Amino acid sequence: MWIVWAALAAISAALVIVLTKAGLKNVDSSLAFAIQAVLILLITWAVVFYQGNFSDWKGIEKNAWIFLLSAGVFTSLSTLFSYKALSMGPASYVATIERTSLVIAIVLSIIFLKEKITWQLVVGGTVMIAGAVLIALSDSSE
């Protein structure tokens, strides 16, 4: 079932990029993210309350708080950087370079989470980087 959720995440992320690029025409990138962040906050807390998970926050361990808050900082930075890049460059190029984060995540997962490295991960990561380089070096019209 995780694959369905991952596919939905990919589709949603693609829509975020296209819709954000369209919305950034005359809007500062930081302001655009702030507007979207309000909706993110409202929607995610609504889901937590709907699922009845609000009281679970009391049981979160200290290390989990540190990791989750750190991830929140990097989520915000990633989005701010992405929106700034989208305000300046073509969405297809920005998204391609930004998604090299997948390869970085693979490497970090192997190092810090001790996940198994396979030849498929190596080949797939190499192809992703090669594709990103190919697109980045192609002629952009914007």
Residue 141 confidence (pLDDT): 56
CA–CA dist 98, 62 (Å, integer):
31
Instruction: Kindly report, residue by residue over 10-58, the tens digit of the pLDDT.
Output: 899 999 999 999 999 999 999 999 999 999 999 999 999 999 999 999 9
Instruction: Kindly report, residue by residue over 81-95, the tens digit of the pLDDT.
Output: 999 999 999 998 999
Q: What percent of the chain has pLDDT over 90?
A: 83
Residue 142 confidence (pLDDT): 52
What predicted TM-score, i.e. pTM, was given to this entire model?
0.83
